[in-house]
Chains A and B, each alone.
Chain A
Amino acid sequence: MQDTEAALDSEVCFKLKGSRITMTILELYRYDYQSFNDALSATISNAPDFFRQTPVVLSLERCPASAHVDFIELGELCREYGMIPVAVRGGSEQQIVAANVAGLPSLPPASVSSRAPEPAAEPAPVAEEISVPVSANRVITQPVRSGQQVYAPGGDLVVLAPVSAGAEILADGNIHVYAPLRGRALAGVQGDASARIFCQSLEAELISIAGNYKVNEDLQGALWKQAIKAELEGDQLFISPL
């Protein structure tokens, strides 16, 4: 998040960039456990609250094609600090295979212009556009089944059908479920503490707002299977009847 001048010299091991779809890009230049860990903990200490359940895309576009990256180890490190790698972007064939094996799908590289030049004198972090059309709010009319994940980046998520146990729904804004909520619901995943969750029947495995969560056993009180709203008061997740 801080100065990025030294992009390619030896001390700096990656750079973070914002993006339009509120996906953080972790741009990797090289990887070894020690320097990655050090750099990561330094970055996190600058902004301890920023990385809570934050999905990140690992960009390999500036990483030498031959560089070996242990994606499993890297993923574990990231998660320790609250970042959740969700995909890689670019990278050599070998790197993509290694990423896939570690459970990370690959996205096509960003537009040619951002990939061609060496990042010698890269300007400060800029909002980067990924050419995916994004409508802020999402409305889902089909049941969200076990194993499925639905995310509304930059807006609210409205689900008009049940969310099964084993399914996960996420939004940068509010979440509305007009049916039983049996899976996991995470609102305000980019840190919006004013986000709320509404559902017609609370049967969830987990609900979370801006990283403050309650798990199933904390939810099984008087409001279980009731219509509820959940909101933050300070950093306390507060559930009340609708």
Chain B
Amino acid sequence: MAEIIVVTSGKGGVGKTTTSAAIGTGLALKGHKTVIIDFDVGLRNLDLIMGCERRVVYDFVNVINGEANLNQALIKDKRVDKLNILPASQTRDKDALTLEGVQKVLDELKKTHDFIVCDSPAGIEKGAHMAMYFADRALVVTNPEVSSVRDSDRILGILQSKTLRAEKGEEPVTEHLLLTRYSPDRVERGEMLGVKDVEEILSIPLLGVIPESKAVLSASNQGQPVILDTETDAGQAYDDAVRRLLGEDVEHRFLNSAKKGLFSRMFGGR
């Protein structure tokens, strides 16, 4: 049975699309048939991050409206065998997505995929609601700063009440914290919240910590998900997160600054 994963946050610019691209690609690399859907109607950029923007013919809304079938709209990734992308529409019409329409498309994708990764738009309005409504799992992408943590907290409240699982009284959506743009130096200088602080406030299990990294920008400029840059810290951190998502027990890393890493590790700090 396919699993639906929403990548969500409340706040914009925290790394949802970067994460959707990396995690989706990572799952496919591990042999699972995966599709990444861009729910950001009007502001699509998953296709840019994935480097397939020139291959977009039909989009998510076209499929919902019956103007194209799924096979026409799905873009097969050229690098990773088991990976598909379903781009968002450029329409300004915020009502283009309906719960019925989304459900129809998800049901069809479930037949042929193991994982469906939903890249949520920012905010707590309709678009974010659509992206999370059918989810089995949520990756709550959070930056180590107060306003981002607050927005993630809000999203967690909504996940508890406004999803299909909540409404049906089923097992709640499984929640994971993904702390991104983490800069150990700035944490040490007291400019940012530490991992422990964020974990304590949100009190959900930590899936991974993705360091603030130049590799992310250069990957997105090349239209390549950063997880494919296996030599980079961010690429490795995303790979760790994918393995944890699949049930592996992987130790956390990139929690300390490069210079101080060994020193604080000797004293058990993290």
Chain A residues within 8 Å of B, Cβ to Cβ: 142-148, 161-162, 164-167, 180, 182
Contact = CB atoms under 8 A, between A and B. Distances in A.
A165 B200 CA distance: 12
A1 B192 CA distance: 54
A146 B153 contact: yes
A143 B158 CA distance: 12
B203 interface: yes
Nearest to A182: B201
Contact of A147 (B157, B200, B201): B157
28 contacts: A143-B156, A143-B203, A144-B157, A145-B153, A145-B154, A145-B156, A145-B157, A145-B160, A146-B150, A146-B153, A146-B154, A146-B157, A147-B154, A147-B157, A148-B157, A161-B203, A162-B203, A164-B153, A164-B201, A165-B150, A165-B153, A165-B201, A166-B150, A166-B153, A166-B154, A167-B157, A180-B200, A182-B201
A167 B157 CA distance: 10
Contacts of B157: 144-148, 167
A164 B157 CA distance: 10
Given A161-B203, A182-B201, 5 more contacts: A142-B160, A143-B203, A145-B154, A145-B157, A147-B157
Interface size for chain B: under 10, 10 to 19, 20 to 34, or 35 or more residues? under 10
Nearest to A148: B157
Contacts of B201: 162, 164-165, 182
A195 to B, nearest CB: 26
A9 B160 CA distance: 49
Contacts of B200: 180
B203 to A, nearest CB: 6
Nearest to B153: A146
Nearest to A142: B160
Q: Interface on chain A toward B: helix, strand, loop, or mixed SS?
A: loop
Contacts of A180: 200
Interface string B180-218: 000000000000000000001101000000000000000
A164 B149 CA distance: 11
Contacts of B203: 143, 161-162
Interface in B84-142: none
A167 B156 CA distance: 12
Most central of B153, B156, B160, B200 by chain A CB within 10 Å: B153
Contacts of B150: 146, 165-166
Interface in B59-92: none
A166 B160 CA distance: 16
A181 B139 CA distance: 25
Contacts of B154: 145-147, 166
Most central of A146, A148, A162, A180 by chain B CB within 10 Å: A146
Contacts of B160: 142, 145
Contacts of A166: 150, 153-154
Contacts of A165: 150, 153, 201
A202 to B, nearest CB: 15
A105 to B, nearest CB: 15
B129 to A, nearest CB: 14
A180 B157 CA distance: 17
A23 B156 CA distance: 29
A144 B202 CA distance: 10
Contacts of A148: 157
Nearest to A180: B200
Contacts of A164: 153, 201
Nearest to B161: A148
A69 B154 CA distance: 32
B257 to A, nearest CB: 27
Interface string B141-159: 0000000001001101100
Closest 7 CB pairs of A and B: A145-B157, A146-B153, A146-B154, A148-B157, A147-B154, A164-B153, A145-B153
Contacts of A145: 153-154, 156-157, 160
Contacts of B156: 143, 145
A166 B152 CA distance: 12
A8 B203 CA distance: 54
